[in-house]
Amino acid sequence: MWVLYPEELQEYNYSPEKILETIFENSNEGLLVVGENGRVLQINDSLALTLKSTPDKMIGKPLTEVCKHSGLRKLIKIIKNGVPEFGKIDSIEGRSFLVDYLPIKNNQRIQGALAKIKFLNPERSGNQEIDENTAKTRVKKKQSAVFYTVDHIIGNSPQLIDLKETLLKVAPRNSNVLITGESGTGKELFAQAIHAASLRRSGPFIKINCAAIPDTLLESEFFGYEEGAFTGGKKGGQTGKLELANGGTVFLDEIGDLSFALQAKLLRFIQEKEIQKLGAGDTKISDVRVVVATNVNLEQMVKYKKFREDLYYRLNVVNFSIPPLRERKEDIFELAECFIEKFNRLFGFQVTGISEEVQNVFQKYFWPGNVRELENVIERAFNVMEGNVIEKQHLPSHLITLVDSDNHGAGKSVLQQESDLGITFSEGQTLEEIMNRTEKLIIIQALKNSKGNKAKASQMLGISRPGLYKKLVKYNLV
């Protein structure tokens, strides 16, 4: 590695140790080196701190003695067998990371091993510092992890550039945010990135899925309850998530599913910042920024009196409307590359890209499940492929059908090709109606292909199970 010989290093007064030390201490990654005798040779401050120690306390000691983390002890195995391992996912103290284990070889002799750790949530949440040992804090830590920042939002289409610029402008202010977009467009990713770019980033980020929790429980989930507030409640009661989110952000997903009664209570909270636990007499102030997301048209819900108008305006101070993937096709290639990189790390593969034929299909496909579906299609390809380019035969069958109809349609006008796909038009129909009819057909086909198995069908479509259920209700398919 050194371009200078030892005597030259001396002459120029270069110190390899100093250079290594600088690299170690300034790396964004956690680095740990163990010698062939299994003792720690080097560890950087940040990783030692995460392991609740310091380099001084660890260097020179057997790894098994100073490192309680069973994953990192794998270095001992790497020293024995000399086989590198890439892209393993693990966690320390609730922080997820990707780790590569590499043997250090000199003339075919293993001299030690290196662990390179990349944390997926770059910052520690401030509340992690408090009272590490209580069970409550552990729950808080789990819920408050933010994995994504604006840098994780991939896409250079004008729409996405615009959204990312707005995000950076709006995030430091405290306004409530409404994020809209179809399923799989990245609403949660945006919510996390807003928190990460805000002044509240060291506070908690707490998510509540309003569709996943029955209404009767949702109120106590929001506000908490005192011991004895109702039969079956926990001893000591429970702190509500709006209180746990104090100093941070609460992300209310699928806000369109919130009952009318809870909408009124949420509105009161947004106006007064006051929380009253169920069964409690007193109130508390909680300073929380509210970010909500939905894939239903809230304006329509307001129009049909299904959603309170006053709450809608309170929430819709800033609106991020994320366009579906089919409306920003220039993002597809960059996203695909990013997912290939991700799965290369996870699978230990060296996939270099996608064939031209697949690129064409990706450009033509409707992507009903948006970015999530693209990610699933690429992951699926990694599971069935052997070479290092994603080819047509690695795609799910509904995409292959599209490739075939695409080849078949070569040289035809766009209109002729549309009719080859079985889409018919009748007078007076709007684009939205045609889209809905097509979406219904796609769902029926997915259910047929999965033999009625809804979990499989939702996976095939790259949408969540609750997302599929909603569509089944919408199209009277239940």
Ligand X SMILES: Nc1ncnc2c1ncn2[C@@H]1O[C@H](COP(=O)(O)OP(=O)(O)OP(=O)(O)O)[C@@H](O)[C@H]1O
Partner from Mg ion, ligand X, none contacting 375, C-beta within 5 to 8 A by type: ligand X
211 binds Mg ion (CB under 5 A): no
To the nearest whole angstrom, how small is the minimum distance from the Cβ of residue 28 to Mg ion? 28
Residue 372 binding target from ligand X, Mg ion, none, CB below 5 to 8 Å by type: ligand X
Annotate each residue in 156-195 with x if it binds Mg ion (CB under 5 A) or - if it does not, as one string.
-------------------------------xx-------
CB of 337 to ligand X, least distance (A): 11
Work out how close the CB of 435 gets to Mg ion at its nearest, in angstroms, rounded to a whole number.
21
CB of 313 to ligand X, least distance (A): 23
> Is 226 among the residues that bind Mg ion (CB under 5 A)?
no
User: In this complex, which beta carbon is closest to ligand X, that of residue 64 or of residue 363?
Assistant: 363
Residue with Cβ nearer ligand X (335 or 395): 335
466 binds Mg ion (CB under 5 A): no
Number of residues this chain uses to bind Mg ion (CB under 5 A): 2
CB of 254 to Mg ion, least distance (A): 8
Closest-approach residue to Mg ion (CB): 188
Closest CB to Mg ion among residues 89, 212: 212
Residue 155 interaction partner, one of ligand X, Mg ion, none, beta carbon < 5-8 Å per kind: ligand X
Give the footprint of ligand X on this chain (CB under 6 A): 153-155, 181, 183-189, 295, 335, 371-372, 375, 463-464, 467
Site for Mg ion in 282-321 (CB under 5 A): none
Calculate ∠ Cα 202-207-211, nearest 5°: 170
Nearer to ligand X, 189 or 288 (CB): 189
Q: Which residue has the CB atom at the shortest distance from ligand X?
A: 186
Tokens 């080196």 found at: 33
Minimal distance, residue 470 CB to ligand X, in Å: 10
Return the number of the residue (183 or 198) whose C-beta is nearest ligand X.
183
Shortest separation between residue 185's beta carbon and Mg ion, angstroms = 9
Residue 463 CB, shortest distance to ligand X, in Å, is 6
Which CB sits closer to ligand X, 9 or 154? 154
- Binding partner selected for residue 137 from Mg ion, ligand X, none, CB under the kind-specific 5 to 8 Å limit: none
Contact set with Mg ion (CB under 5 A): 187-188
